[in-house]
Structure 1
Amino acid sequence: MNRVARVVHPIEQESYRRLRTRLDTSHFPPLTRAVVERVIHSAADLEYATDLVMAEDDLVKAHAALHAGAPVVVDVEMVGAGITRRETVCRLGDATAGPGLTRSAHGIRLAYEQVGPGALWVIGNAPTALEELLTLDASPALVIGLPVGFVGAVESKEALRASGLPAVSNVSEKGGSAVASAALNALLYHPVSSEETP
């Protein structure tokens, strides 16, 4: 697959320079550093450096799967709009709420029926979407679980970490579409090494 090098705007370069003068990220492994920095960049919130939870080994495998063409599923269109250079699947528009099932959760079910196992899931809005994903046998390449809010967000992210699935999450109520898409973009933008090429 031919990949066109991404051109980084001077404003983004300066933003990263300033970020690194305020926070030393050099101790993070490469992909973890990429995710931490891009999430912080998206939110201008340095606290994400200690709030995010992820494992480099999971990111390495997810990075390879992503660049090998694994589907990317998002819980809401806003997350998809923030993911550049990649098509995403979002089924929220086809979903309906029912007894004990939110529209967001139903959208996740529909997306799983469409893509099957092995996708990268990016959830930045609804805790119920993340909770529903955890009930499915999705065998994800990665779950970026960063829903935001005071009701259910912390608990859904705790459940994600307890599940043992490869994941990027955070401990606090913070999150949202911008940071979730930023975490995925970090993996998209990171160079592919010869060892990862399938």
Structure 2
Amino acid sequence: MNRIVHPIEQESFRRLRARLDTSHFPPLTRAVVERVVHSAADLEYAADLVTDEGDLVKAHAALHAGAPVVVDVEMVAAGITRRETVCRLRDAESGPGLTRSAHAIRLAYEQVGPGALWVIGNAPTALEELLRLDASPVLVIGLPVGFVGAVESKAALRESGLPAVSNVSEKGGSAVAAAALNALLYHPTSEETL
């Protein structure tokens, strides 16, 4: 099913591409970079994001085959269009040495098991908890924002060897994390391009 793109969005991407050359990126990396830059109106993301085209190809196929999508907060879920998500933050509790966000990740993993796409845009502790689990993710979009723990958690994600989308700086957040997932949702499958 093709997505109808509003003229304002078309013009926004035209202007983005006039200011930022993304033609050298492979197709899915380009889609992610452009959608993230668009969501934040921040051209610096083009140099800040860390992706792997092979990981994105596998994640794109799994996503379109129905793999579950888990998010750390409802704000990320609200930004993901055309797809149901799992968010267990409302059911989670904090305790000694465990934030509510980390507990929510545990609860979500108990619900979905291995093979999910994880989208973390808010809490570095959620990303840290995911890295402690044997979740076998299809992809981790790890873009938590902040001055405490965000850079470190994203570095740990990259060092883990898990398939991932992350960035190097403190920047991130719910909107950009959702945008990265939406880029994979919106990118056509081979059947849609026939």
User: TM tier, shorter chain?
Assistant: over 0.9
* Correspondence 1:87 to 2:84: yes
Paired residue secondary structure (2:132): coil
Tell me, in whole angstroms, the C-alpha distance in 1 between the residues paired with 2:65 and 2:147: 36
Identical pairs, percent: 88
* Correspondence 1:17 to 2:14: yes
In the other structure, the counterpart of 1:130 is: 127
Paired residue secondary structure (1:168): strand
RMSD over aligned Cα atoms: 0.4
Shift of 1:96: 0.1
Tell me, in whole angstroms, the C-alpha distance in 2 between the residues paired with 1:152 and 1:8: 36
Q: 1:119 aligns with which of 105, 112, 116?
A: 116
Per-residue CA deviations over 1:67-122 (Å, capped at 9, x if unaligned) read: 00000000000000000000000000000000000000000000000000000000
* Correspondence 1:185 to 2:190: no
Tell me, in whole angstroms, the C-alpha distance in 2 between the residues paired with 1:193 and 1:55: 20
Scaled by the length of structure 2, what TM-score is found? 0.98
Structure 2: runs of 5 or more not aligned: none
Structure 1: runs of 5 or more not aligned: none
Shift of 1:193: 1.2
Scaled by the length of structure 1, what TM-score is found? 0.96
Paired residue secondary structure (1:134): helix
Tell me, in whole angstroms, the C-alpha distance in 2 between the residues paired with 1:65 and 1:86: 13
Runs (4 or more) in structure 1 with deviation over 4 Å come to none
Per-residue CA deviations over 1:147-189 (Å, capped at 9, x if unaligned) read: 0000000000000000000000000000000000000000000
Number of residue pairs aligned between Structure 1 and Structure 2: 191
